[in-house]
């Protein structure tokens, strides 16, 4: 199977997972979430995708022969691949979120990998390793975060809460295209829920 078809299949799988799944640290019913700024609405990654959106599967209606032709290296097949790639990358945002004060948990992806721990802008993604070890998530599952003053994030592999104003704005970086931009008020380390039996 060619590298291109693997990328397309990976893209579709990641989109489906990010829309449908609720990772363990997305559970916002914990005391840590309620301790944050009460003026911000807690949102989760599926909230960034329109409720009626169905991801495009570029290979769903194709026969094996059609798939083989698609990757034969001809000008026609390359043009078709570009068309499918454009359709597969369509990731609509939720206009109702524009301008809202929100808090969202996720993983930080630095825009420059130079071991810095102080950032004025970075990406927030729903799972660790996105944009680094795997293809980037769909644009509506990437938030481009900006801070007026640099914020310190010592360990980018640990999840954090971002609190700020989110806008439906496309921002293109060297790592990914994001469908949202967030102007930060706070970055807070995420803590797991406290079990009732431990309270």
Predicted TM-score (pTM) of the model is: 0.69
Using the predicted structure, report yes or no on whether residue 102 has a pLDDT greater than 60. Answer: yes
Give the residue among 125, 124, 97 at the shortest CA–CA distance from 14: 125
Cα dihedral sign for 114, 115, 117, 123? positive
User: What pLDDT, in 10s, does the model give residues 43-76?
Assistant: 999 999 999 998 877 777 888 888 888 888 889 8
The segment with the largest mean pLDDT, out of 11-15, 48-52, 84-88, 111-115, is 48-52
Which residues have CB under 8 Å from 61's CB, separation 6+?
A: none
Contact between 113 and 78 (Cβ < 8 Å) = no
Check residue 33 and give its pLDDT.
42
Q: Report which of residues 117 and 147 the model is more confident about.
A: 147
* Residues 183, 40 contacting (CB under 8 angstroms): no
Kindly list the domain boundaries of the chain, sorted by start residue: 24-50+93-189
DSSP string, 110-137: ESS-S---EEEEEEEESSTTBTTTBPPP
Task: Measure the CA–CA gap between 153 and 194, rounded to whole angstroms.
Answer: 23
What's domain 24-50+93-189's superfamily in CATH? Protein of unknown function (DUF3299) (2.40.50.870)
Mean pLDDT for the chain overall: 78
- Cα separation, 14 vs 131, in Å, equals 12
């Amino acid at each position: 199977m060619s590298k291109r078809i693997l990328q397309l299949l990976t893209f579709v799988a990641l989109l489906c997972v990010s829309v449908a799944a609720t990772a363990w640290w997305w559970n916002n019913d914990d005391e840590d979430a309620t301790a944050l700024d009460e003026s911000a609405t807690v949102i989760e990654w599926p909230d960034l995708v329109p409720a009626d959106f169905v991801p495009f599967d570029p290979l769903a209606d194709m026969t094996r022969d059609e798939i083989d032709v698609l990757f034969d290296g001809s000008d026609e097949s390359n043009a078709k691949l570009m068309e499918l790639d454009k359709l597969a990358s369509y990731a609509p945002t939720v206009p109702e979120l524009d301008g809202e004060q929100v808090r969202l948990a996720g993983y930080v992806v630095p825009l420059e990998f130079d071991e810095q721990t102080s950032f004025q802008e970075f990406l927030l993604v729903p799972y660790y390793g996105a944009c680094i070890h795997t293809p980037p998530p769909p644009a509506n599952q990437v938030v481009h975060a900006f801070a007026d003053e640099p914020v310190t994030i010592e360990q980018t592999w640990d999840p954090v809460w971002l609190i700020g104003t989110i806008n439906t704005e496309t921002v293109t970086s060297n790592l990914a295209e994001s469908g949202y931009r967030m102007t930060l008020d706070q970055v807070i380390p995420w803590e797991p829920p406290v079990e009732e039996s431990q309270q």
